[in-house]
A and B are shown apart, each in its own frame.
Chain A
Amino acid sequence: MKVVLRNPRRELELSGAKSVNDLLARLELSREAHLVIRNGTLVPGDGRLADTDEVEIRPVISGGAA
């Protein structure tokens, strides 16, 4: 599947990730700090993924100390 990452924006190809939780674990990304979007819609942790999918992994952590 095509995976779009942010900050900085980049793309990678992955195969075999069966769910959102599986995808995040493979990339060693925190579930609490990311959302996964497919076709403009959020996909929950146990949401099934296919190798034909295109997904965005969006980080949600932001902010300075002020």
Chain B
Amino acid sequence: MSKCKVCREPAIIDLPRHNANFCGDHLQQLCRRQVEKAISDFEMLRPDDRVLVAVSGGKDSLAVWDILLELGYNADGLYIGLGIGDYSDISGRYVRAFADERGLTLRTIDLREDYGYDVPTAARATRRVPCSACGLSKRRLFDDAARDGGYDVVVTGHNLDDEAAVLLGNTLRWDIDYLARQLPVLPATSGFPKKAKPLVRLTEREMAAWCIVRGIDYQVEECPMAAGNRHLGYKETLNQLEARSPGSKASFYLSFLDRMAPLLVGHSQAATDGLNGCERCGAPTTGEVCAFCRLVATASAHEQVPVEMMGRRR
């Protein structure tokens, strides 16, 4: 039976990329230190920042909220009801239970009630993949909630697997604009709050383990809209590499940040220059009407599409 690398007590998890095993206490220590290092290296947060954590009910967002509180940050939660049938109903229950048990402040937005549409309907109305409409909605509502609530930074639970998978996709297409913006922290700019991803040094497996060790109940079920998407395929491919060569994911992503991202700084700046204000909402956009306003107009005018119908016609 393997022993913890630090204390030699029985281990509960093996982490091949660290060539080590850990007990529950020292797994938590490892995770906290990795988050502290990410926050420090990329200047993500200041001690007195008001932080808004975007929480979905999944392991990563609840874990990052938990870790930031552990580290002493002033962090509230933001939950967006996406209207994805039972999946959304259940995810909301996990988030509310987490917040209630700890006496935390949780802000909530409901796409259907507040904006007149939901993700399945938006996907059908715009003929885009559901993840596209979902991501566009969430990014915009995170920005608005942070600005309206007076928060200094929006934190999301994107982890090393998420970032490595996106990097693989962007690299396969040599999409320079996206590569230039694929950073763990984006500074506040006109109309956009600062955004940070404190989990970029930790894997999905480590975050799931954090939740289990900490007794955090989270939604294990996968979003029915995401099943089979390209992003999950990239993750599987990277995990095959990781199995043969532990540490590959961290090397791929963290070396990109270290060696490649600095070369793209000028390009990143060019991508945000020359933005106009949306004529409907004033948000920064390259056109006259921003993508979110166009989405709301199209999706809210469409007949509601139940999630069960989405598998029949995309």
Which residues of A approach B to under 8 Å, CB–CB?
A: 6-7, 30-35, 37, 40-48, 58-66
A66:B235 contact, CB within 8 angstroms: no
Contact B12 A64 (CB under 8 A): no
14 A–B contact pairs at CB < 8 A? Answer: A30-B243, A32-B239, A35-B212, A42-B12, A42-B213, A44-B14, A46-B1, A60-B207, A63-B162, A64-B131, A64-B225, A65-B169, A65-B230, A66-B138
Residue contact A65 to B11, C-beta cutoff 8 Å: no
CB of B28 closer than 8 Å to a CB of A? no
**Complex Cα–Cα for A63 and B159 (A):** 10
Count: A-B pairs, CB below 8 Å: 110
CA distance A20 to B280 in the complex (A): 56
Are A61 and B235 in contact (CB-based, < 8 A)?
yes
Task: Report whether A64 and B226 are in contact in the complex, using a CB–CB cutoff of 8 Å.
Answer: yes
In angstroms, Cα B212 to Cα A48, docked, is: 20
Decide: B204 and A61 in contact? CB cutoff 8 A.
Answer: yes
**Contact indicator A37/B220 (Cβ below 8 Å):** no
Q: Is there contact, CB below 8 Å, between A48 and B1?
A: yes
Expressed in whole angstroms, the minimum distance between the Cβ of A9 and any Cβ of chain B is 8
Interface of B is mostly: helix
* Interfacial chain B residues near A66, Cβ < 8 Å: 131-132, 134-136, 138-139
Chain B residues packing against A (C-beta within 8 Å): 1-2, 11-14, 16, 21, 24, 58-60, 129-132, 134-136, 138-139, 161-162, 166, 169, 203-205, 207-209, 212-213, 220-223, 225-226, 229-232, 235-236, 239-240, 242-243
**Interface pair A58/B208, CB less than 8 Å apart:** yes
**Looking across the interface, which residue of chain A has its beta carbon closest to that of B22?**
A44
* Cross-chain contact B132 with A61 (CB below 8 angstroms): no
Of chain A, the residue at the smallest CB distance from B222 is A7
Nearest Cβ on chain A to B25's Cβ, whole angstroms: 13
Decide if B220 touches A6 in the complex (CB within 8 Å).
Answer: yes
Q: Are A62 and B58 in contact (CB under 8 A)?
A: yes
